[in-house]
Structure 1
Amino acid sequence: MKNDKLTTSDFTFDLPEDQIAQTPIMNREQSKLMVLDKTGETIEHRKFYNILEYLNEGDCLVMNNSRVLPARMFGTKTTGAVIEILLLKRQSLDRWECLVKPGKRAKPGTVINFGNKLQGEVLEDLEDGVKLVEFKYEGVFESIIEELGEMPLPPYIKEKLEDQERYQTVYAEVSGSAAAPTAGLHFTEDLMDKVREKGISIAYVTLHVGLGTFRPVKVDNIDEHIMHSEYYELNEYNADIIKAARNKGGRIISVGTTSTRTLESICKKLGKLDKDSGWTDIFIYPGYEFKAVDALITNFHLPESTLLMLVSAFSNREFILKAYKEAVDNDYRFFSFGDAMFIY
């Protein structure tokens, strides 16, 4: 998969700041949908609810059912200094890798109190400002976080989110993500019912999205970029749904880059699609040969991001950048609360 020609700067594009969506639109399925035929290299402009026209009986939609933790919390040291932490990755029952600000005030041994229900102690400095924190509490950790925490919106979203559930998919079930699998934000319960009525199956994977997915690529040669690992799971019930669709000739349509990375990680590890769980740091960029995914629903991603590189690998870089320019020219909304793309 080595690629000596492409550099990080080959995945840049110009985006006016006012096209970065700051709030979700009123009705999820009313987002714009750009439809790309990667074989004929044609582009159509539709609405997201039109996705039904491009799905065939026997296809299988694969969705990431991870739920975003309200993982941003503010606590105080014994000195009264305010410390902000963001839960990133669970290492064990009570130990988490956390982004801590200001990091200089939270050396190993620092104790942080979050009200009277939760206390954290910094155990160790890790890389890139990340620290290992051990928590003490009574009760259920997730319930305490739901009560104390705030939704960790991406830094490019400046507006306050009035309804926290709008940063969750309607099918979010398994808590653990630091960011939403945003391609799924366009689906409503009604649209999913219509998908099933058309004879299209829906299967769920779980991949807990870490901030590593969104970290900027700091090397010029993309071959040298290292992804942070994220936990994934595909259980037997959902694996059987996917396998049944494939065996009958249906397409596997991945909803989002996280679902894509899960399915491709499993195929890479097992040589086939089957039940599996573990940690993945798979990095997909042009030159990668897809083994599991036949079509992709995704949002519009940041310039020079690993997500844009994955989408470029699924089609081709020139066609994707042409589509992005057309999206800019047609006032599409970008990033987490933005519009969608269907590539087949």
Structure 2
Amino acid sequence: MLISDFDFDLPEDRIALRPAEPREAAKLLRVDGSRLTDSHVGDIADFLLPGDVLVVNDTRVLPTQLDGVRLRDDSTVSIEATLVKSTGPAQWQAFLKPGRKVKPGDNLLFKSDGAELRARVSAKDDNGLYTLDFYHSPHELLERLHVVGGMPLPPYIRSKRHEDEQDKRDYQTIFATDEGSVAAPTAGLHFTPALLKKLDERGVSFVRVTLHVGAGTFLPVKVEDTRDHVMHAEFGVVSEDAAARINAARAAGNRIICVGTTSLRLLESACDPQGAIHPFSAETAIFITPGVNVRSCDLLITNFHLPKSTLFMLVCALAGTENMKKAYRHAIDTGYRFFSYGDASLLTNISK
């Protein structure tokens, strides 16, 4: 398939720069085959049944956006660093801006509120990723990162405004407990204590899994054919208890509903050909495109995704390409807000 098959025109004013307040006031588009229903996230219980199981990603976003300076001899240059993957106890891969001003051997200094982080640039790869070795113990690095760092907002937001203290609250889900992500599992951002109470009263239960989201989720697909795309790898865990609860729910005839594409990609990685979920603890680079049968879930709650993105390909695989193109046209025409801080959709899996 061609990447261009998944392109669409999105007006700039449809990109949400802040989340809805309250969170459950966000719009919700129900996509059931070719049938579309407009609603709100706060009313999602109307589409769910007693016994349904929502699978949520409990990863927690680290504040990996850093502003600082490059130090070389007697000269300094202002730089931005976005840490994207931990590759050692005190080592990270990062995107640096402006990258042309930095080379291996340079030292970097990041400071804020009396705390500082220091690192040495040890390498640069062909994809423009730099390897940073920090002059701190792992514990000290994490501790100082929470003081010095800001939330790593997606490029389509950060190009329009700088991250701030509000984002430290807004860009973290109510389920977030296990630190390790450099991007939020954004479908989970819609959930609040009031909505969880409403779902509990409806007889809906929750199962937690963990997929640490990488920055690759925002990287553009640079090839023309989907067969040539190399997916980024992310580390995920499905515990024995989580797998057992999901399998028991399915055996009882109840539905499995993934909250976000991260939960879906992880479950699908842990799923056997018969649809049973197994304990899992490894990296996954699963790439789901139309023609793939998604076996692990019955429905998906997800935000609206970028044109030509792997995530738009995933929802097309799950709910049908023509159905999703129709749904996205409707969303654009009727004022839905897109991307990480935007509105949500509830999709029926018709691929099975």
TM-score bucket (shorter structure):
over 0.9
**Deviation digits for residues 190-226 of structure 1 (CA, Å, limit 9, x no counterpart):** 1112222222220111111112122111111111111
Q: Does 1:141 align with 2:141?
A: yes
Contact residue 69 and residue 178 of structure 1 kept, 8 A: yes
Contact residue 272 and residue 278 of structure 2 kept, 8 A: no
Contact residue 116 and residue 148 of structure 2 kept, 8 A: no
What residue in structure 2 maps to residue 36 of structure 1? Answer: 31
1:271 CA displacement: 7.3
**Deviation digits for residues 37-87 of structure 1 (CA, Å, limit 9, x no counterpart):** 12xx21000011111011111111001111111111122233322222111
Contact residue 174 and residue 192 of structure 2 kept, 8 A: yes
Amino acid at match of 1:213: T
Alpha-carbon distance in 2 for matches of 1:190, 1:270: 36
What residue in structure 2 maps to residue 159 of structure 1? Answer: 161
Alpha-carbon distance in 2 for matches of 1:53, 1:127: 49
Contact residue 71 and residue 152 of structure 1 kept, 8 A: yes
Contact residue 64 and residue 206 of structure 1 kept, 8 A: yes
What residue in structure 2 maps to residue 111 of structure 1? Answer: 107
Count residues with an aligned counterpart.
Answer: 337
Contact residue 201 and residue 241 of structure 1 kept, 8 A: no
Secondary structure in structure 2 of the residue aligned to 1:81: strand
**Deviation digits for residues 107-146 of structure 1 (CA, Å, limit 9, x no counterpart):** 2221112236421111111232101111122543222111
Q: TM-score, normalised by structure 2?
A: 0.91
Amino acid at match of 2:144: I
Alpha-carbon distance in 2 for matches of 1:146, 1:270: 43
1:181 CA displacement: 0.8
What residue in structure 1 maps to residue 241 of structure 2? Answer: 237
Alpha-carbon distance in 1 for matches of 2:182, 2:39: 30
Alpha-carbon distance in 2 for matches of 1:252, 1:270: 15
Q: What RMSD in Å do the two structures reach over aligned CA positions? A: 1.7
What residue in structure 2 maps to residue 205 of structure 1? Answer: 209
Alpha-carbon distance in 1 for matches of 2:70, 2:257: 48
Alpha-carbon distance in 2 for matches of 1:74, 1:53: 45
Q: Does 1:297 align with 2:301?
A: yes
Higher mean C-alpha deviation, range 255-264 or range 135-144: 135-144
Alpha-carbon distance in 2 for matches of 1:286, 1:37: 17
Matched residues, percent identical?
45
Alpha-carbon distance in 2 for matches of 1:291, 1:269: 8
Contact residue 273 and residue 295 of structure 2 kept, 8 A: no
Higher mean C-alpha deviation, range 237-246 or range 216-225: 237-246
What residue in structure 2 maps to residue 3 of structure 1? Answer: none
What pairs up with 1:1-344 in 2 under 5 angstroms? Answer: 6-38=1-33, 41-78=34-71, 79-115=75-111, 117-137=116-136, 139-157=139-157, 158-160=160-162, 161=164, 163=166, 164-267=168-271, 272-344=276-348
Alpha-carbon distance in 1 for matches of 2:193, 2:274: 33
Alpha-carbon distance in 1 for matches of 2:264, 2:140: 32
**Deviation digits for residues 1-51 of structure 1 (CA, Å, limit 9, x no counterpart):** xxxxx211111112111111111111000100000112xx21000011111
Secondary structure in structure 2 of the residue aligned to 1:77: strand
Alpha-carbon distance in 2 for matches of 1:303, 1:343: 18
Alpha-carbon distance in 1 for matches of 2:161, 2:327: 27
Instruction: Name segments (4+ residues, structure 1) moved above 3 Å.
Output: 159-162, 268-272
Secondary structure in structure 2 of the residue aligned to 1:145: helix
Secondary structure in structure 2 of the residue aligned to 1:90: strand
* Unpaired segments ≥5 residues, structure 1: 1-5
Contact residue 117 and residue 137 of structure 1 kept, 8 A: no
Secondary structure in structure 1 of the residue aligned to 2:187: helix
Alpha-carbon distance in 2 for matches of 1:147, 1:307: 32
Alpha-carbon distance in 2 for matches of 1:270, 1:143: 44
1:106 CA displacement: 2.3
1:246 CA displacement: 1.5
1:332 CA displacement: 0.6
Amino acid at match of 1:183: A
Contact residue 52 and residue 205 of structure 2 kept, 8 A: yes
Alpha-carbon distance in 2 for matches of 1:134, 1:245: 46
Q: TM-score, normalised by structure 1?
A: 0.93
Alpha-carbon distance in 1 for matches of 2:28, 2:127: 36
